[in-house]
Amino acid sequence: MVAALAAGLALGAMSPPAFAAWDLQQLMDSLAQNKSGRATFVETKRIAMLDKPLESSGELVFTAPDRLEKRTLKPRPESMTVTGGELFIDRGNQKYHVQLQAYPQLAAFIDSIRGTLAGDRQALERNYKLSLDGSAGSWSLQLLPLDEKMQAVVRHIRISGARDQVKSVEIAQADGDSSLMVIEKSTTAR
């Protein structure tokens, strides 16, 4: 009996741990497995000069590595599509096209979302100091801007989730305004 217990302990010590510590690379590897996804969102923006928060809702569509669509349905239709280094905005009769290289802070902000969804640690670390809290079942990734100009706009971004799913994106701006987007994976395919 003692020999069997000792052999079991020895084998356990030699084999890789079944429950290794959850870390940033494991999160990125897990997220990178999602090549595309569709979700609904509800976003609440708190702006100091407004009496009550602004709420919008709609759907998000991500196709790895770099296509992200945000289709706002309420309170009024609007779409934003990012593909590669281009941003397209459609607000009814108004249409905009922006080259992200001309707006580095905007590009960095967009890459915080795309980089997380794609599990692209290098893209995130180009613009942010990263820290991860929690476990695989409930994690929180904090992104602190490295660039001084970006720090003047964004204090931090906190992306939370479970396993390979992003559940929320919280942005705290340097001026005290904030937004929280709650995301729910769509169960219907289109």
pLDDT in tens, the chain (190 residues): 433 333 333 334 433 444 456 799 999 999 999 889 999 999 999 999 999 999 999 999 999 888 999 999 999 999 999 999 999 999 989 999 999 999 888 888 898 999 999 999 999 999 999 999 999 999 999 999 999 999 999 999 999 999 999 999 999 999 999 999 999 988 654 4
According to the model, what pLDDT value does residue 52 have?
95
Q: Cβ of 62: how many Cβ atoms within 10 Å?
A: 22
Residue 6 within any structural domain of the chain: no
Burial class (CB in 10 A: 0-12, 13-18, 19+), 1: exposed
Cα separations (Å) of 161 from 20, 73, 102, 147?
19, 24, 31, 26
Residue 168 within any structural domain of the chain: yes
pTM: 0.84
DSSP letters for the chain: -HHHHHHHHHHHHHSPPTTPPP-HHHHHHHHHT--EEEEEEEEEEE-TTSSS-EEEEEEEEEETTTEEEEEEEESS-EEEEEETTEEEEEETTEEEEEEGGG-HHHHHHHHHHHHHHHT-HHHHHHHEEEEEEEETTEEEEEEEE-SHHHHTTEEEEEEEEETTEEEEEEEEETTS-EEEEEEEE--S--
CA distance 29 to 118: 9
Residue 112 within any structural domain of the chain: yes
71 residue type, one letter: R
According to the model, what pLDDT value does residue 17 have?
42
According to the model, what pLDDT value does residue 87 have?
96
CA distance 67 to 113: 11
User: Are 164 and 30 a contacting pair, CB within 8 Å?
Assistant: yes
Residue 11 within any structural domain of the chain: no
CA distance 65 to 70: 16
According to the model, what pLDDT value does residue 14 have?
37
Q: Which residues face 67 on adjacent strands? A: 63, 83
Residue 14 within any structural domain of the chain: no
91 residue type, one letter: R
The CATH number that applies at residue 34 is 2.50.20.10
Residue 58 within any structural domain of the chain: yes
Residue 9 within any structural domain of the chain: no
Name the domain count of the chain: 1
According to the model, what pLDDT value does residue 16 have?
40
According to the model, what pLDDT value does residue 13 have?
40
Range of the domain at 151: 22-185
User: Of 30, 50, 63, whose CA–CA distance to 161 is shortest?
Assistant: 30
Residue 70 within any structural domain of the chain: yes
